[in-house]
Amino acid sequence: MKNLTLLALALLAACGDNLTGATPAPDAGPTADAAPDAMQPFVPPEFTPLALSTGGTDQLLGATPGPNGSFYAVGFRAASFEATSDRELVLVKLTTQGALDTTFGGGDGIASLNVQTGGSGELWRGIVTQSDGKIVVLGTVEDEVNAVDRDAAVVRFNADGTLDTTFGVTGVDNGIVRLDLEQANINGATVKGVDTPWGLAVDASNRLYIHAAQRNAGVGRLDTDFAVVRLTAGGLVDVTFAATGGTPGKFTLDIQNTDAAGSCQDCVRGIYVLADGTILAAGYANSTGVGSVQPVLYKLTSAGALDTTFGTGGVFHEVLMQGFTEVYGVAIVAGKLVTAGYGRNAATGNNDWVSARFNANGTLDTTWGTAGKVVFDGSMGDNPDNNRNNVALPGGRVALLGSTGSPATSSDAMFAIVSGNGAFDTAFGTGVVKYDLGGAEQLWGGAVASTGNAALFVGFKGAGATPSATSNDDAYIVVLPLP
């Protein structure tokens, strides 16, 4: 028994307080590290090629979250590099790490579809998912009657990458809904006012919203107007939308109100549906009212009429940069409307990235950046900079996507992460990342994974003005881990 008592005391001494003295002495506190581990430096993610064609042009232009942290991305590809080569829609599914998901499409992660054969007019950039997991994409296609004209097309895929033939009118559309918004003005080889679809959004009821430019329907008019078309969840034109004062199912807005230039006078870009069913749409236009190309932001009620509580009569169209300002992307970040675009203050010279933040009522939020704007010269004055899109990130941040340099010759892909106060986020190095591969690199679309731990940015490495069989546009991606 004595031996057992001594053993117990020895074990207690080894495990805890010092019991050998008359008064127990508590253990010493933990010793602090003399040099705690430093925060790991930010390592820019790779600008990674994604093989979509063997010898032809391919680009990725839009992205959206998929299930379980995956992503979908949309673009086009062609069999060869020539500008006349027939293009087709290409839809890919990527894992969280950016690898092609071989359970999708033809077993290689790629689904493709040639909506209109024989031409180079297909251009796909809009993409959303509906609540049942089906993927809907929006693009430009050649008109079936006159191939020099262009129409909008909406295509739906099943979750495995097969065409969903139940979308649209059964037995007619079979998964491919074509929308001839307005016939272009065609005068020999001169074509003005083709349909130009750009933005695609989905609401809580799975209804789809298409933001497109169309030629003004007036006699002799050559310029384009803003148009928003709503489709039912099944792909039919929803005639309850914008039901009065025009074409049921389609809202139109004419900012320029002139046929003088005969080009993209009302230039359509992004669209977003808010939780209450109201719709925000963006783009840019010239008008006598502002005297230069400036942003157009407008808000519609869920019924398809201008929401007069926003901006002036439902529209913001004011001067942001004195020279010009173009708006491409639109995102809702912490309840505010953040734009992506570019412009300059001088009458001539190179443009810079310009992102502005607006309050819910369409007024400029002057607490963000400098007087409501973040203006960034990525090339330090030597080249034009083009901010093409933006993505809302967790924590009130926003990613701005685009390029610096001339997209027609030589440019660097670039993204910037901006914090909630409009400053570049130093958790990502300087907050700005560029990719120079010696070509015309660009970023055009992006999305945040449903898990919130990563973002995908998509674009391409371009061949510039002189593509060839060995040097042509190739799709690229960036997967950015989010702290």
Please state, as a whole number, how many other Cβ atoms lie within 10 Å of the Cβ of residue 63.
28
Query: How do beta strands 373-376 and 385-392 pair?
Result: unpaired
Tokens 């992460």 sit on residue = 417
Tokens 């063997």 sit on residue = 54
Contacts of 376 (CB under 8 A, 6+ apart): 352, 353, 385, 400, 416, 432
Q: What residue ranges do the domains of the chain occupy?
A: 44-175+449-483
Integer CA distances (angstroms), 360 to 274, 314, 316, in order: 11, 12, 12
* pLDDT tier for residue 8 given thresholds of 50, 70 and 90: very low
pLDDT of residue 382: 64
Integer CA distances (angstroms), 460 to 68, 329, 377, 380, 481, in order: 26, 18, 21, 23, 20
Average of per-residue pLDDT across 435-451: 95
* pLDDT tier for residue 414 given thresholds of 50, 70 and 90: very high
Lowest mean pLDDT of 153-157, 207-211, 405-409, 439-443, name the range. 405-409
Is 241's pLDDT higher than 70? yes
Is 467's pLDDT higher than 60? yes
Lowest mean pLDDT of 260-264, 274-278, 290-294, name the range. 260-264
* pLDDT tier for residue 23 given thresholds of 50, 70 and 90: very low
**Angstrom distance (rounded) from CA 351 to CA 383:** 8
Which H or E run contains 11? helix 2-15
Contact 353, 375 (CB under 8 A): yes
Q: Strand, coil or helix: what is 388? A: strand
**SS percent in the chain: helix, strand, coil, step 5:** 5, 45, 50
Contacts of 37 (CB under 8 A, 6+ apart): none
H helix intervals, 258-381: none
In terms of Cβ atoms closer than 10 Å to its own Cβ (0-12, 13-18, 19+), residue 163 is middle
The Cβ-side half-sphere exposure at 35, using a 13 Å CA radius, reads: 1
**Angstrom distance (rounded) from CA 377 to CA 354:** 9
Contact 92, 50 (CB under 8 A): yes
The mean predicted confidence, pLDDT, of the chain is: 89
pTM of the predicted protein model: 0.90
Vertex 446 angle, CA 400 and 165, to 5°: 150
* pLDDT tier for residue 26 given thresholds of 50, 70 and 90: very low
Is 181's pLDDT higher than 90? yes
Torsion of the alpha carbons at 94, 167, 127 and 420, rounded to the nearest 10: -110
Q: Give residue-wise pLDDT tens across range 190-206.
A: 888 899 999 999 999 99
pLDDT of residue 380: 67
**Angstrom distance (rounded) from CA 29 to CA 359:** 52
Contacts of 90 (CB under 8 A, 6+ apart): 52, 58, 60, 74, 75, 76, 77, 110, 111, 112, 124
**Sheet harboring 324-333: ordered strands across?**
324-333, 336-344, 352-358, 373-376
Q: Return the top range by mean pLDDT from 13-27, 107-121, 210-224.
A: 107-121
**Angstrom distance (rounded) from CA 179 to CA 139:** 10
Which H or E run contains 448? strand 440-448
Contact 363, 337 (CB under 8 A): no
Q: Give residue-wise pLDDT tens across range 65-101.
A: 999 999 999 999 999 999 889 999 999 999 999 999 9
What's at 23, amino acid-wise?
A: T
Contacts of 347 (CB under 8 A, 6+ apart): 323
